[in-house]
């Protein structure tokens, strides 16, 4: 083994100097290069199908398993790339590529010098990830949330279909109004699988201050990671007009969302009616 030695001489701003002697190995030769077996990929994912899948995709799946099982919890850091490489018996570069994709999907967040962290809905950064309604003025706004109703009921056919449940299975139904700067703007109906949200109550939801998806993540072990929205134009009927404080027959955006957790499992249906006099739905096309 060959080493190189070098001295770092720091010239500090106050004129003083510091000397540091370092030595570093120049190269590393594995002692038994020919004796090591190549990685047995099938051992990594024992039940893997015979269909080809790149190593980094398998690593990605392994990492996702640990996220899904909350072995690595939202907000916490995951092991370093080098550590994971050692654990999974692959190079750091391969782990890196797996993490790259997970970061692109907003499941992980990289922070240079600090580590890689599990994304969480308890963050200012992620506040507008699922809410695309923006104010005409750039002013920050005061948000008020009011739960109008929360009850358990048997899933209507349409909701059951979207949640991949049997019609009649238990669901939690929530109706709420969001106001920005005291102006009622969003009226939302939500349906959640009853089995996952057994202990959700109107009180708990009302008193909770942070983002709703944060509550779901922390207290119900359900992380929303993706959603699709279908947008239509609608007219306010009598009830809606009253709750939103607009004229009857006013035009509204009708936004129907289905949210998914790990494994593309749908876990929320949400139908929102948006007043767009002072706000607009923002979308980026690329």
Q: Is 5 or 114 the residue whose CB approaches a second copy more closely?
A: 5
Which positions from 98 to 127 touch a second copy by CB under 8 A, shown as an x/- string? -------xx---------------------
CA dihedral 86, 88, 92, 95 (to 10 degrees): -150
- Site stretch for a second copy (CB under 8 A), options 51-59, 72-80, 193-201, 221-229: 221-229
Q: Is 20 or 285 the residue whose CB approaches DNA more closely?
A: 20
Q: Is 56 or 150 the residue whose CB approaches a second copy more closely?
A: 56
Residue 115 interaction partner, one of a second copy, DNA, none, beta carbon < 5-8 Å per kind: DNA
Considering only residues 35-94, where is the footprint of DNA by CB under 7 A? 39, 52, 54-57, 78, 80-83, 90-94
Q: Exposure string (b/e) for 123-158, b if CB count within 10 Å is 16 or more?
A: eeebeeebebbeeeeeeebeeebebeebeeeebeee
CA atoms within 13 Å, Cβ hemisphere of 272: 22
6 contributes a contact to a second copy by CB under 8 A: yes
We find the least distance from the C-beta atom of residue 60 to a second copy, in angstroms, to be 16
The strand order across the sheet containing 115-118 reads 77-78, 115-118, 108-111
Question: Which 8-state DSSP code applies to residue 101?
Answer: H
115 contributes a contact to DNA by CB under 7 A: yes
The partner residues of 150 in beta bridges, in order of sequence, read 174
Q: Is 28 or 124 the residue whose CB approaches DNA more closely?
A: 28
């Amino acid at each position: 083994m060959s080493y190189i030695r070098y001295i770092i001489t720091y010239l500090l701003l106050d004129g003083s100097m510091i000397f540091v002697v370092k030595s570093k190995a120049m190269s590393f030769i594995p002692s038994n290069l020919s004796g090591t077996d190549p990685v047995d990929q099938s051992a990594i994912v024992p039940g893997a199908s015979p269909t080809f899948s790149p190593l980094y995709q398998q690593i990605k799946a392994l990492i996702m398993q640990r996220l899904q099982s909350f072995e690595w919890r939202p907000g916490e850091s995951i092991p370093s790339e080098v550590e994971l490489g050692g654990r999974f018996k692959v190079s750091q570069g391969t782990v890196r590529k797996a993490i790259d994709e997970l970061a692109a999907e907003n499941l992980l967040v990289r922070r240079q010098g600090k580590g890689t962290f599990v994304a969480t809905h308890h963050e200012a950064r992620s506040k507008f990830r699922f809410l695309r309604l923006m104010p005409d003025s750039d002013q920050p706004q005061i948000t008020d949330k009011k739960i109008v109703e929360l009850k358990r009921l048997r899933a209507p056919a349409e909701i059951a279909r979207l949640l991949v449940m049997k019609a009649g299975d238990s669901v939690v139904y929530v109706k709420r109004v969001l106001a920005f700067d005291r102006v009622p703007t969003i009226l939302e109906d939500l349906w959640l699988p009853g089995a996952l949200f057994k202990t959700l109550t109107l009180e708990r939801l009302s008193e909770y201050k942070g983002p709703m998806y944060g509550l779901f993540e922390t207290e119900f072990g359900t992380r929303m990671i993706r959603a699709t929205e279908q947008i239509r134009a609608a007219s306010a009927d009598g009830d809606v007009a009253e709750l939103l404080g607009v004229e009857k027959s006013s035009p509204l955006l009708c936004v129907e969302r289905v949210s998914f957790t790990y494994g593309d499992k749908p876990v929320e249906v949400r139908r929102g009616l948006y007043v767009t006099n002072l706000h607009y739905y923002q979308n980026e096309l690329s």
